[in-house]
Amino acid sequence: MELLTTNNVWMMICTALVFFMHLGFAFLEIGLTRQKNTINILFKNIFIITVGLLLYCLVGFNLMYPGFADGSSGMFGFAGFGLSSPLTAEGALDLTYNEGYTYWTDFLFQGMFAATAATIVSGAVAERMKIVPFMIFTIVYVGLVYPIAGSWKWGGGFLDQLSTPFYDFAGSTLVHSVGGWAAVVAVCLLGSRIGKFKNGKIQAIPGHNIPLATAGVLILWLGWFGFNGGSVLSADPSLTSLTLVTTCLAAAAGGVVAFIVSTIMFKNLDLTMFLNGILGGLVGITAGADQMSPTDAIIIGAIAGAIIVFAVSLIDKLRLDDPVGAIAVHLACGIWGTLAVGLFGNLAGVDQFISQLIGVGSYAMFCLTTSFIIIYTLKKTMGIRVSEREELEGLDSHEHGMDAYPDFRLNEH
What percentage of residues in the chain have a pLDDT greater than 70? 94
Check pLDDT > 60 for residue 92: no
The answer to whether position 163 is within a domain reads: yes
3-state secondary structure (DSSP) of residue 202: strand
pLDDT of residue 96: 56
pLDDT digit string, tens, across residues 238-288: 999 999 999 999 999 999 999 999 999 999 999 999 999 999 999 999 999
Q: Work out the angle between the directed axes of helices 210-229 and 2-31 (0-180°, nearest 10).
A: 160
Quote the CA–CA distance of 242 and 346 in Å, as a whole number: 13
Check pLDDT > 90 for residue 29: yes
pLDDT digit string, tens, across residues 98-137: 667 888 899 999 999 998 888 999 999 999 999 999 999 9
The answer to whether position 412 is within a domain reads: no
Q: Return the DSSP state at 358.
A: H
Query: Domain containing 26: what range?
Result: 2-400
pLDDT of residue 408: 62
Which distant-in-sequence residues (6+ apart) come within 8 Å of 265 by Cβ? 309, 313
Residue 71 pLDDT class (50, 70, 90 cuts): confident
How far the first Cα of the chain sits from its last, in Å, is: 61
pLDDT digit string, tens, across residues 287-325: 999 999 999 999 999 999 999 999 999 999 999 999 999
Which distant-in-sequence residues (6+ apart) come within 8 Å of 41 by Cβ? 26, 29, 30, 33, 122, 126
Average pLDDT over residues 22-26: 96
Residue 93 pLDDT class (50, 70, 90 cuts): low
The three-point CA angle 99-142-335 to 5° equals 80
The answer to whether position 413 is within a domain reads: no
The answer to whether position 298 is within a domain reads: yes
Torsions phi, psi for 198 (to 5 deg): -125, 125
Nearest to 187, CA basis, from 118, 125, 116? 125
The answer to whether position 248 is within a domain reads: yes
The answer to whether position 407 is within a domain reads: no
The answer to whether position 411 is within a domain reads: no
For residue 101, the domain's CATH number is: 1.10.3430.10
The answer to whether position 97 is within a domain reads: yes
Which distant-in-sequence residues (6+ apart) come within 8 Å of 305 by Cβ? 253, 254, 255, 256, 257, 258, 261, 277, 280, 281
Quote the CA–CA distance of 160 and 167 in Å, as a whole number: 8
Number of structural domains (the chain) is: 1
